[in-house]
Chains A and B, each alone.
Chain A
Amino acid sequence: DQQVKQNSPSLSVQEGRISILNCDYTNSMFDYFLWYKKYPAEGPTFLISISSIKDKNEDGRFTVFLNKSAKHLSLHIVPSQPGDSAVYFCAARGPSYTGNQFYFGTGTSLTVIP
């Protein structure tokens, strides 16, 4: 059973506009959330993270928002650039009694159109 879900397999956005990628999770005990970006034929690379005690974290063009009551997080990319075209994975760290296990979503493929 998928504990971290990314319900949009793909997203297309015009260059310069905002990209919003969404992620939902089921386990309220997750304490840390991360976004990874993956280009074809490469491993994922870390993008941005947020602790469950915060509701927003910003790093340059990337902002992650966490809504714990809705068990929802989102990644905003502003402005979107063609180099942002990649697959984005949302991940969550499991509760402490599971050790340091990580759960990933299925990914959203972002295409930024020049």
Chain B
Amino acid sequence: EAQVTQNPRYLITVTGKKLTVTCSQNMNHEYMSWYRQDPGLGLRQIYYSMNVEVTDKGDVPEGYKVSRKEKRNFPLILESPSPNQTSLYFCASSHFQGFEQFFGPGTRLTVL
């Protein structure tokens, strides 16, 4: 089954404790992206990657890191999480250029 998987689905952590949210896709997509969804702000793009070893900042990259060492994986790293990073996070993938993205089920992160 074609899908984008994210882990964990739910996470409660404390300020400053480094965490990684994993994202994996099995569709051989070149384009992968991370978004956060907040009430009243919709979906905002954090980072995206056009292919392996190629990453670019989206609209709200501050406080986040990403890496793309393999085509299928695109982890999101929060080196020192803060409460303002409490949000619902979505990973997405698509063929080149990002059209018609397939989204994962979301990761709900709470930073205390």
On whether the beta carbons of A89 and B42 are closer than 8 Å, the reply is yes
Evaluate contact between B50 and A99: CB separation under 8 angstroms.
yes
Enumerate chain A residues within 8 angstroms of B44, measured Cβ to Cβ: 104
Say whether B48 contacts A101, CB under 8 Å.
Answer: yes
Q: How many residues from A make CB contacts under 8 Å with B?
A: 25
Smallest Cβ-Cβ distance to A100: which chain B residue: B98
Where the two chains meet, the residues of A that have a C-beta atom closer than 8 Å to any C-beta of B are 2, 4, 6, 32, 34, 36, 41-46, 49, 89, 91, 93, 99-107
Assess whether A105 is in contact with B98, with CB atoms less than 8 Å apart: no
Taking the closest CB of chain A, its distance from the CB of B81, in whole angstroms, is 22
> Known: A43-B4, A43-B90. Is A102-B45 also a contact (CB below 8 A)?
yes
List the A side residues contacting B43 at CB < 8 Å: 44, 89, 91, 104
The residues of B that contact A103 with a CB separation of less than 8 Å are 45, 59
Known: A93-B98, A104-B42. 10 other contacts (CB 8 A): A34-B99, A36-B103, A41-B106, A43-B104, A45-B102, A45-B103, A89-B43, A100-B31, A101-B48, A102-B45
How distant is the Cα of A43 from the Cα of B102 in the complex, in angstroms? Answer: 8
Within 8 A of A (CB), among B43-71: 43-45, 48, 50, 56, 58-59
User: B47 CB to closest chain A CB, in angstroms?
Assistant: 10
Across the interface, name the chain B residue whose C-beta is closest to A9.
B40
Using a CB–CB cutoff of 8 Å, the interface residues on chain B facing chain A are 4, 31, 33, 35, 40-45, 48, 50, 56, 58-59, 90, 92, 97-106
**A100 to B99 Cα, complex, angstroms:** 9
The chain A residue with its CB closest to the CB of B106 is A43
Q: For B56, what are the chain A residues with a Cβ–Cβ distance below 8 Å?
A: 99-101
Q: Which residues of A contact B48 (CB under 8 A)?
A: 99-102
A102:B98 contact, CB within 8 angstroms: yes
